[in-house]
Amino acid sequence: MKSTNVTRIMNLVDQSERFKRQGHVGGVLWFTGLPASGKKTLAHLLETRLFNLGYQVIAFDSVWLRKGLTSDLKFCRLDRKENIRRAGELAALLSGSGLIVITAFISPYVEDRAVAREMNNNFHEIYLDVPIEICEARDQRNRYKRAHLGELTNFTGVSAPYEKPLNPNIVLEGSVLTKHECVDYLVDYVNHNFKSA
């Protein structure tokens, strides 16, 4: 239930002033893809590269969020929806203050990603397209194996669906490109799309 007695106080520092000082606009780079497709690895490699180039940047992933802000949520459909809603709200808050926010979430449902996009003015969906067989082979935590054995329920790609993005800003073929090639491409993308006017 939404609060009805909350009044928003406007910031005295204009968003455009923040962007000007930082030398770039804020925005969200939202990684999505199957478990073990490489989202978290790419997100944190990209964060490091952009930080070293002088960008104000932060990366966070589902594990980071589920240890704090969404620790009350499980993996049923409604809780997954709420997990992505909270991630989208956090990304909007941070990107609105001028940060480049890099998120790494399976975010398996088109509808939930659309909600996150709606919250963020400068949202870029990055689909990490990796065949499930490769994801299974990469899975060091054996989650796919456990899901096939019935030990993990509601596991995306096995006992829960993954809906491919309908119109992502970027598609990275993670089984073809190396992680460094992916990061190089994304740095170039940020350089062209996040510079302030």
Q: How far is CA 146 from the centre of its chain?
A: 25
Q: What is the pLDDT of residue 76?
A: 86
Neighbours of 35 (CB within 10 A): 22
Cα–Cα dist 29/117, whole Å: 10
Task: Specify burial of residue 24 (Cβ count, 10 A radius: 0-12, 13-18, 19+).
Answer: buried
Domain ranges of the chain: 15-192
CATH architecture assignment, domain 15-192: 3-Layer(aba) Sandwich (3.40)
The pTM score is 0.91
Alpha carbons 134 and 25: distance in angstroms, whole number: 35
- Three-state SS at 69: coil
pLDDT in tens, 34-87: 999 999 999 999 999 999 999 999 999 988 888 888 889 998 889 999 999 999
Sequence-separated (6 or more) residues with CB below 8 Å from residue 156: 34, 35, 106, 108, 162
pLDDT of residue 149: 95
SS3 66: helix
Hey, which residues are catalytic here? 107
Report the pLDDT value the prediction gives residue 196, as an integer from 0 to 100: 72
Q: CA-CA distance, 98 to 91, in Å (whole number)?
A: 11
Q: Which helix (H) or strand (E) holds 101?
A: strand 100-104
pLDDT class of 2 with cuts at 50, 70, 90? low
pLDDT of residue 3: 67
Cα 73 from chain centre: 18
Amino acid at 14: D
Q: What tokens were used for 133?
A: 């067989």
Asked if pLDDT for residue 14 goes beyond 70, the answer is yes
pLDDT in tens, 114-169: 999 999 989 999 999 999 999 999 999 999 999 999 999 999 999 999 999 999 99
